[in-house]
Amino acid sequence: MAFLDSWVQSISGVLWDSLLIYLLVGTGIYFTIRLRFVQVRHFRLGLKKLFSNFSLHGGKQEGGLTSFQALATAIAAQVGTGNIAGAATAIASGGPGAIFWMWISAFFGMSTIYAEAVIAQKTRTVVNGKVVGGPAYYIQTAFKGAFGKFLAGFFSIAIILALGFTGNMVQANSIGDAFHSAFGVNPILVGLACAIIAGFIFIGGIHRIASVTEKVVPLMALFYVIGCLAILVMCGGGAVIEAFREIFVSAFAPQSAAGGALGVTVQQAIHYGVARGLFSNEAGMGSTPHAHATAKVKHPADQGIIAMIGVFIDTFIILTMTALVIVATGAYKSDLTGSALSQAAFNSQFGDLGMIFIAICMLFFAFTTIIGWYYFGETNVRRLFGEKAIKFYAVLVVGFVLLGSGLKVDFVWHLSDMLNGLMVLPNLIGLLASSAIIIKLSREFDQNRKSSRGE
């Protein structure tokens, strides 16, 4: 097992430490240029669409989801434990400057996720009355024949294993650990409760999943942001201003920044910021297109524009709040990392309530991720094995959630990282091969808007 674990870590290291960073950022830059900075041009429109479609009771849409339900399901998957532990890991390893590079990667990632949503909308199909779509569908559209079939199949298998099984074990483990630390509850009991509730949601299909996410996601985000703002108010305006200064200064001159940034190079700040940022917002990973494909919109670009807001909320709001709390409280100067560092930051102001606050947030963040990741896997199970396999898949996921809550095996965490990386490769190949269609649809949308305004 030790040999296998070492082998998995080596592959994961090659993927995330070098190859995927350049591919993901490069893809984001490419689409940003080709789509004429769509994340800037249509950002205001994206916010308008978000708030005009906002509803905690979107209802059941025949043949698909509302645009907001699709976004909520996507954000449910994006906002996970990485928003609490990911930011802390980036800061501990790359200094406060890593957060600046998270912002940069997220900026370009907004154009990537726009492209993913647009082509997912264009290539979606209806199977047994259900609207489905995602990378496997646009990969096969881009590449005909055996190669397309192989690439799409590879992606489907990778995402089922990465998110549906190992990924959900990791999320469940985070919930179990958090509740054990905060309340002394047996992680297995927490996992059992999560597994039962998750199973009930899974049985209801995408409409029940959407019904849950459209209600829980806005409330969990609001709860977390209010908690973070309370910490920042307690720290004072001077500490917040200093936190921003640390982030910008150490992004380019880490040696000039104080505390935990000492001994960190600019290269490390860029590396950890970009890697953790991309892992958190999932732009280019091929996960969220499954949700965006189901939205009922007039034009594919409509959903592409609102998909960009998902990355903005994940990185520029939720993850940034975590980072500011860690830096403003000075917790980053300790030797802690991951969720322990975030915990220390909240405990410094909230006392024992900080541990409880993090446990509650971890529950909502990780549980909604389990729901979203289950659905992404389900779409690919249905494509590969048919409708009859869905119930078996749901039972397996429930079992993995229960198992993961009480059994922390480092190999599973490392395997999840590797599989996450492997699913990115076929997705980016299919996405770049579809760029001509994406650009055409984007220009068509822009032209339609000009015509409707009489320009």
Cα-based angle 349, 216, 423 (whole degrees, multiple of 5):
95
Per the model's pLDDT, the better-predicted residue between 57 and 34 turns out to be: 34
Query: Tell me: the pLDDT tens digits for 117-137?
Result: 999 999 999 887 788 999 999
Nearest-angstrom CA–CA distance, 148 and 143: 4
Nearest-angstrom CA–CA distance, 257 and 255: 6
On whether the CB atoms of residues 108 and 396 are closer than 8 A, the answer is no
Nearest-angstrom CA–CA distance, 370 and 171: 7
DSSP assignment, residue 242? H
What are the φ/ψ torsions at residue 131 (nearest 5 degrees)? -75, 125
CATH code for residues 68-440: 1.20.1740.10
Report the pLDDT value the prediction gives residue 258, as an integer from 0 to 100: 43
Cα-based angle 222, 275, 16 (whole degrees, multiple of 5):
135
Q: Is the pLDDT of residue 447 over 80?
A: yes
On whether the CB atoms of residues 256 and 269 are closer than 8 A, the answer is no
Nearest-angstrom CA–CA distance, 365 and 217: 8
Indicate the pTM of the whole model.
Answer: 0.92
Q: What average pLDDT score do residues 178-195 get?
A: 89
Kindly report the number of other CB atoms within 10 A of residue 388's CB atom: 8
Indicate the SS3 state at residue 64: strand
Nearest-angstrom CA–CA distance, 410 and 201: 28
Q: Is the pLDDT of residue 403 over 80?
A: yes
Say which amino acid occupies 422. Answer: L
Q: Where are the domains of the chain?
A: 68-440
Provide the pLDDT confidence category of residue 379 given band limits of 50, 70 and 90: very high
For 3, counting Cβ atoms within 10 Å of its Cβ (0-12 exposed, 13-18 middle, 19+ buried), the class is exposed
Over the chain, what is the mean pLDDT? 87
